[in-house]
Amino acid sequence: MYKIAIAGASTLVGRELKDALSESPLAAASIVLLDEEEAEGLLDQVGDEITFVQTIGPDAFDRIDFTFFCGSEDLTRKHWRDALRAGSTVLDLSGALDQETGVVVRAPWLGSEAATVDLFTPAVVPAHPAALALALVLERLQQAAPVRIAFATLLQPASEFGRAALDELHQQTMSLLSFQGMPRSLYDTQAAYNLLAGLGESAKVSLGAVEARVRRHYAALSAGRWPALALQVVHAPVFHGHAFSIAIELEQPAEIASLEEALRGGHLDLVLEDTDSPSNLASTGQDDVLVRLHPEPGARNSSQITRLWLWVASDNLRLQAQNAVACAMDLRRLRPQGTVQ
C-alpha cells in the first residue's frame, strides 16, 4: 500500500486532488493531510474516514511514497527538499520548482510527450492546466494538418489564485451591489464586473507570472514539436474554470471534417451545437476539455480551410488534479511495491 501526503491540503487544489485520488487506482493508499499552522486541526474526510489536517513537522515525510505540494510557492520551497531527503517522490502543483535543475514538467495524457523521469529526477511538476489544455488541442490538430502558428487568449478565473481570491471577488461583488467600499488587499483593483490584462501596483498576485508559467510549461511539453504560441492572459470576473479563444493558422488547407475528427476523444470533447457552447460553467466537474470549432466566416461554405477559431473551456482545478494523479500513476514504476526505494 502506498502512503501519500498532500501538503497544502486545505487549499482549493489540495481538496480537488484529494477527491481525484479517491477516484483513482490510488484510492486504497494511506493519505496524510498536511498544511501550515493556521490550518492545523481542520477536520476533513478521506474516502469514508474522518481525519484532520496536521502541521508539517520534522518527521512529516517519513515513509511517504508520494508528496503532492498543493499550497503556496513558499510552502513548497520550504519543505520540498525535506521530502526528498525522506525518500519521497515530490510532485509540485504550486509551480514553484519548474525552473529548478533536473525538475521535469509532465503531462502523461500527451502521446508525444518527450519528458522522462528516472530515480535521479528530483521532482516532477504536473503541467499547468492551461498549458495542458492548449497542448492537448494543438497536439491533436497537428495530427490532422501542420499548424503554422496559434494565438490564444486565456480567460482566467479567481480560483487560479486560491481561496483568498475567491473571497475577495465575492466581497467586491457584494460591496458593489450594496454601494459600499470594495476590499482590494489581493488584487489592488476592481476585479468584480471587470476584465483585466493587469492588476494593481500593490497586488499580491500577478497575471504576468501566470502567463510566463503557462508559456514555460507549454514549451516544455512541446519540446519544439508543436507550433509557436502567442499568448495573453486576461483575468475574468468568474470564480472557476478556464476559457480560451484560440486563432489557428494552418500550413496548408485542410478538410473541416478531418479537423473535427482530430478534436474528438483523447481528453477532448468536441461540441457541435451552438446551444451547448463550451463555458466555464459547462466544464465544471468535467475531466475533458470542451472544444468548439469555428471556421473563418468567409470559409463557412468551403470544405477546406487554412484559418479557424476555437472556443475552449476546462475545469482548471479538476484538470490540474487529474494530471497530477496521472503523473503519480506514471511514476509508480519507480515504486513498484509502495515502499521507499
For residue 55, the domain's CATH number is 3.40.50.720
177 in the same domain as 99: no
Q: What is the average pLDDT value for the chain, to the nearest integer?
A: 90
- Average of per-residue pLDDT across 76-87: 95
143 in the same domain as 82: no
Full residue range of the structural domain in which residue 174 is found: 131-316
pLDDT for 340 equals: 44
User: Does residue 274 have a pLDDT over 50?
Assistant: yes
Q: Is residue 160 a part of any domain in this protein? A: yes
Q: Is residue 341 a part of any domain in this protein? A: no
Q: Is residue 191 a part of any domain in this protein? A: yes
pLDDT for 341 equals: 43
CB neighbour list of residue 62: distance below 8 Å, 6 or more residues apart: 86
117 in the same domain as 84: yes
Q: How confident is the model at residue 301 (pLDDT cuts 50, 70, 90)?
A: low
Return the CATH number at 238: 3.30.360.10
Q: Which residue has the cell 529526477?
A: 121
| pLDDT, tens only, 149-164 | 999 999 999 999 999 9
Q: Is residue 340 a part of any domain in this protein? A: no
User: How many CB atoms lie under 10 A from the CB of residue 225?
Assistant: 13
Cβ pair 74, 102 in contact under 8 A: no
pLDDT for 45 equals: 64
pLDDT for 109 equals: 93
42 in the same domain as 161: no
241 in the same domain as 121: no
265 in the same domain as 140: yes
Element (H, E) at 7: strand 3-7
Q: Is residue 339 a part of any domain in this protein? A: no
Q: Is residue 301 a part of any domain in this protein? A: yes
**φ/ψ (deg, to 5) at 86:** -80, -5
209 in the same domain as 162: yes
User: How many CB atoms lie under 10 A from the CB of residue 289?
Assistant: 26
Number of domains in the chain: 2
| pLDDT, tens only, 243-263 | 999 999 999 999 999 999 999
112 in the same domain as 159: no
197 in the same domain as 106: no
Single out the residue of 120, 112, 21 nearest to residue 323, CA to CA. Answer: 21
136 in the same domain as 121: no
298 in the same domain as 234: yes
| pLDDT, tens only, 101-121 | 999 999 999 976 656 777 678
Q: How confident is the model at residue 16 (pLDDT cuts 50, 70, 90)?
A: very high
- Average of per-residue pLDDT across 68-80: 95
pLDDT for 193 equals: 96
Give per-residue burial for 124-141: e unless 16+ CB within 10 Å, then b.
Answer: bbbbbbbbbbbbbbbbbb
Q: Is 195 helix (H, G, I), strand (E, B) or coil?
A: coil
Q: How confident is the model at residue 177 (pLDDT cuts 50, 70, 90)?
A: very high
- Average of per-residue pLDDT across 125-139: 97
151 in the same domain as 33: no
What pTM was estimated for this model as a whole?
0.92
